[in-house]
Amino acid sequence: MLSKTEVIVLKSMKYRDTSKIVTFYTKEYGKLKGIAKGARSAKNKFGSSLEPMTHAMLVLYKKEHREIHLISQCDALCSFKSFSEDFDRMTAALAVIELVHQVTHDEERNPALFALLLDTLGALHTSVKKYSTYVYAFQIRLVTLFGYAPNLETCGACASPLVAGTGETEYSFLIARGAVYCNRCRKPDSSLNVPGDPGSTFTSITAEVLQILRRLQHANLDSLGNLEFSRHAGNQIDEILRLYLRYHFEGLKTLKSTEYFH
């Protein structure tokens, strides 16, 4: 069946003398692999459309129960040229791509994830600073799309709103529940003041970090360029999201690209 779909190129590998095997995240089918015959020959008809991070329109012969489909045509819609001009921007874009590659399975359709991926690359493409902010926003929105949204609005035990100005400067985040607790509900010995709940390991988060996480979760992506936070807050966000993703995506490897953020 000849199929046409919008894609983001996740990975591109040389194959034999003149071909390439390319992994795409597609709008219609989720992640899938294709072979581009002649993509490395003199008469390469694909141009640069098969380079990682390219947004393109793909036409392929899709066969049921095949792991690799035959690529008929691929035309770049946007190659995000600014990524190759700035190492930090490139690193952030790679972290996003790598994460999608790791957490998705072949041919599981998720158009919302495709949209998030494209929007994030677009925001990174035009932003001028704090690239890691977009990676954090992508991470928290990704887990949300997979059904693991953390509740950052109300205490996970007493349900009282977690609001600024109540005098609390620090809260407790419980990774396993994706919940934040007020100080009344968390005992000093790190167990939870809820009948029947055994002690659990908490991560402390400051009120500042809680506010930032909320914006990362809900704010318009284009507005995140104005989000200022201290290095300490950045480290805490990085750590919480890393633990949270690892908890929900078993076997998630440390993303090579994120090591450059610090």
Q: Which residues bind Zn ion (CB under 5 A)?
A: 155, 157-158, 182, 185
Report, in Å, the least distance between residue 150 CB and Zn ion. 15
For Zn ion, the closer CB: 8 or 182 = 182
CB of 229 to Zn ion, least distance (A): 25
The token pair that represents 76 in the structure block: 């770049």
CA nearest to 7, candidates 86, 71, 95:
71
Nearer to Zn ion, 25 or 171 (CB): 171
C-beta of 181: minimal distance to Zn ion in Å?
6
Nearest to Zn ion of 135, 157 (CB atom):
157
DSSP states along the chain:
-EEEEEEEEEEEEEETTTEEEEEEEETTTEEEEEEETTTTSTT-SSTTTTSTT-EEEEEEE--TT-SEEEEEEEEEEE--THHHH-HHHHHHHHHHHHHHHHH--BT---HHHHHHHHHHHHHHHH--S-HHHHHHHHHHHHHHHTT---EEEEETTT--B--TTSS--EEEEEGGGTEEE-TTTB-TTS-BSSTTPPP---EEEEHHHHHHHHHHHHS-GGGGGG----HHHHHHHHHHHHHHHHHHSTTPPPPGGGGGG-
Residue with smaller CB distance to Zn ion, 143 or 185: 185
C-alpha to C-alpha distance for 15 and 102, rounded to whole angstroms: 22
Task: Give me the least distance between CB of 157 and Zn ion, in Å please.
Answer: 5
Q: Give me the residue label for tokens 């095997």.
A: 21
Identify residue 78 by its one-letter amino acid code: C
When the beta carbons of 107 and 168 are compared against Zn ion, the nearer one is: 168
Q: Pick between residue 99 and residue 192 the one whose CB is nearest to Zn ion.
A: 192
Shortest reach from residue 233's CB to Zn ion, in Å: 23
> Toward Zn ion, which CB reaches closer, 145 or 194?
194
Q: How far is the CB of 174 from Zn ion (least distance, A)?
A: 12
Query: Taking the complex as a whole, how short is the minimal distance between the CB of residue 216 and Zn ion, in angstroms?
Result: 23
The answer to whether the CB of 120 falls within 8 A of the CB of 134 is yes
